[in-house]
Amino acid sequence: MTDIAQNPHADDSRARRNVLVLVLAQAILGAQMPMVFVTGGLAGNMLATNPCLATLPISMIVFGSMTTAPWISPYMQRNGRRAGFIIGALGGAAGAALSAYGLYIGSFLTLLAGSYLTGIYMSAQGFYRFAAADMASDAYKPKAISYVMAGGLLSAIIGPQLNKQVMEAWMVPFFGTYAAIVALNLGGLFLFFALDLPAKIEATAQKTATAIRSKTALLKEPRIVVAIICAMVSYSLMNLVMTSTPLAVVGCGFTNDNANDIVSAHVLAMFAPSFFTGHLIARFGVERIIGAGLVVLAIAGGVALSGVTLTNFFGALILLGIGWNFGFIGATTMLASSHAPEERGRIQGLNDAMVFGCVTVASLASGGLMNCSGGTAVEGWNAVNYAMGPFLALAGGALVWLAVDRRRAV
C-alpha cells in the first residue's frame, strides 16, 4: 500500500510552532528519563533482596508506559494532545514523589509503585513525535519528528548533570534525584499550553469513522507490521543495554559519576543525529535508514564485547544511541505515513503498547542477564550484548520481507 496519510497543510507555520514547544518539552521534562535510567537500577540494587531484580524499577517504568499507551492515545484522539501531555507530566510528578518516599522508608515495593506511575509520563512523552507530525505537510513530517527528537540533546545534558548534583545531596541515597524530577514535571507542564493543536479530531474525520480500519486490518498492512517490528527491536535493544550499563560500569570498578557521564554521552548520541535523520530519510528512503540503524546497533554490541574499559563503554553506548535514532525515527516515520489521520488513535496506541511491551521484557531480562548469568560483571555484560543478535536478525529479515513484498506488488 502506498502512503495514505496525505496531509493537506501546505503552510507549516503551525507545525513549526508546535515543534518548538515540543523540543522545549523534550529538553526539560525529558531530562527525567536519563535521571531515572541511571538511578533506577542503582536504587533497585540497594533495596532489592535479590540482585536479579535490581533493574525491576526500570522495568516497571516501561511496563507503566506499555499499559498507559492503549488508553492515553484514544484519550488524546478525543480530547487533544495537550490534555494527554498534562496527564503525563502529572503522572511523572506523582511517580517521582512516591519513589522518593519509597527510598525514604526503604521500601522496594513502594519504589516499584512510583516507577509504574513514572511510566505514565514515559508513555505521554512517546507521543511528542506523533504530535509534531499532526499539523505537518508530508514533506515536513519526517523533519518535524526528527527535530522534536533532537530536543533530547538538551535533556541528555540537563538530566545527567543535574543528577550528579542531587543524587547524593540528601542523607537518603538517590532521594534528591526523584525530588528534582517532581520539580521538572510540575514546572514543565505549563509548556503544553503553548501548543497550537486541534482540541480533538475534526468533524470531517468523524464522518469518515466507518472507513477506519480495525486493528486486525491495520496489522495486515505490511509497512505497519515492519514499522512496529523495527521500532520494537530498536527500542528494546537500546533499553536492554542501557539498563545494564550503570551496573556494569560500577561493577567493573568505575564510579557513579562515570556511569552518569556514559549515559549522558549515550543520550546525546540518541538525539544528536535527529538534526539530519529526517533529511537522510527524505533523500535515501526510510527503509535504508532503518537498515543503517540496525547495522550500527550490531557494531555497538561488538564494541561492548571487545573490552570493559571506559573507552569501550563510551564507544558502545554512543553507537547504541545512534543506532536507536536511525531505527526508531525511521520506524516512526514509516508508521506515521502508513495510516489515515483518523486511524492514529488506534494504531499509534497499539504501536506504543507493543513497543513498550517488548521494552519491558528487555529491561527485565537486562537485570537477569547482568547479575545472574555469570559470576562476574564482565560475564554479565557480555551476556547482555550477545542477546542482541537474534533480534537484529528479526528486524533485518522484516525489512528484506518488505522489500520483496513491494517488488511483487509492482
Q: What is the pLDDT of residues 56-109, one digit of tens each?
A: 898 899 889 888 888 888 888 788 889 999 999 999 999 999 999 999 999 999
Q: Rounded distance, CA 248 to CA 382, Å?
A: 10
3 lies in a domain?
no
In-domain check, residue 148 = yes
| pLDDT computed for residue 25 by the predictor | 93
| Distances in whole angstroms, Cα of residue 393 to Cα of each of 137, 162, 287, 291, 327 | 34, 38, 15, 11, 14
Total domain count, the chain? 1
Of 20-29, 73-82, 208-217, 326-335, where does mean pLDDT reach its minimum? 208-217
CA 392/CA 373 separation, integer angstroms: 21
Evaluate whether residue 209 is within a structural domain: no
Residues 274-317: tens digit of each pLDDT: 778 888 988 899 999 999 999 999 999 999 999 999 999 999 99
- Residue at grid coordinates 543528577: 163
In a domain, 310, yes or no: yes
Q: Give the integer Cα–Cα distance in Å for 226 and 174.
A: 40
Residue 235 resides in a domain: yes
CATH of the domain at 298: 1.20.1250.20
The pLDDT value given to residue 229 = 94
Q: Is residue 166 part of a domain?
A: yes
What is the mean predicted confidence (pLDDT) over 205-212?
51
Residue 207 maps to a domain = no
Residue 8 resides in a domain: no
Enclosing domain of residue 275:
13-202+215-409
Note every long-range contact of 227-230, with CB atoms under 8 Å and residues 24 or more positions apart, other chains counting.
227/331, 227/332, 227/334, 227/335, 227/338, 227/351, 228/331, 228/335, 228/351, 228/354, 228/355, 229/394, 229/395, 229/398, 230/290, 230/294, 230/327, 230/330, 230/331, 230/334, 230/395, 230/398, 230/399
